[in-house]
Amino acid sequence: PLLHPAEEWPRHRQPGHRPEHLGPFTPVKLGHLATPRARVGSIVVRCHRFDEMVAFWSKALGYVPREEPEADWVVLTAPSGGGGPNLSLARVGERMAPPPEADSAIHLDLYTTDAAAEVDRLLALGARRHPVDAPDGADFVVLVDPEGYRFCVVQKQHPAK
């Protein structure tokens, strides 16, 4: 199955379970540690179909190479230098994306005010629909990129939020 019911997970991995040896949860005051000094600068994707991925994600996000791409590395960034983290692509020798029936450990959510039109546009650029549909009434559609990595197109009233 695509998703495992909680009963199949070890007790310590079930949502909301806290191992007894850790005692009750107590929030910690972090003081100066509570102020972040870092931000997500780039999300790195390792891919075998490097050239297709560069073309797809450049068009999908409207990003451009930050500097001249190398044969096995490129950093894509918003043309204005803002708008979120960079997307870096690194060429690898073999496909690394999980098979469609496996659950991804991480994926991108693309926010838009017109999900239907954005899905059509991304499909025309080379995305494919994921074989498992979102639940009824969901505000997202699951797609896969040319390498096979999942991403979601999420309907939002305000795409920046």
Q: What CA–CA distance (Å, rounded) separates 26 from 89? A: 40
Determine the pLDDT at residue 64: 95
Query: Rounded mean pLDDT of the chain?
Result: 82
Q: Helices in 27-151 by DSSP H: which ranges?
A: 50-61, 115-125
Determine the pLDDT at residue 21: 60
**Structure letter (DSSP) for residue 81:** S
Positive/negative CA dihedral, 139, 107, 102, 100: positive
CA distances, 19 to each of 25, 26, 29, 72, 152 (Å): 10, 14, 22, 44, 33
Residue 142 near residue 150 (C-beta atoms within 8 A)? yes
Determine the pLDDT at residue 14: 45
- DSSP E strand boundaries for the chain: 42-47, 64-65, 73-77, 86-91, 108-112, 128-129, 140-144, 150-155
- The residue type at 71: A
- The residue type at 97: A
19 phi and psi angles, rounded to 5 deg: -55, 135
Six-digit token string for 44: 């790195």
Give the pLDDT band of residue 12 (cuts 50, 70, 90).
very low
48-81 pLDDT tens trace = 999 999 999 999 999 999 999 999 999 999 988 6
14-39 pLDDT tens trace = 445 555 666 666 666 666 666 777 88
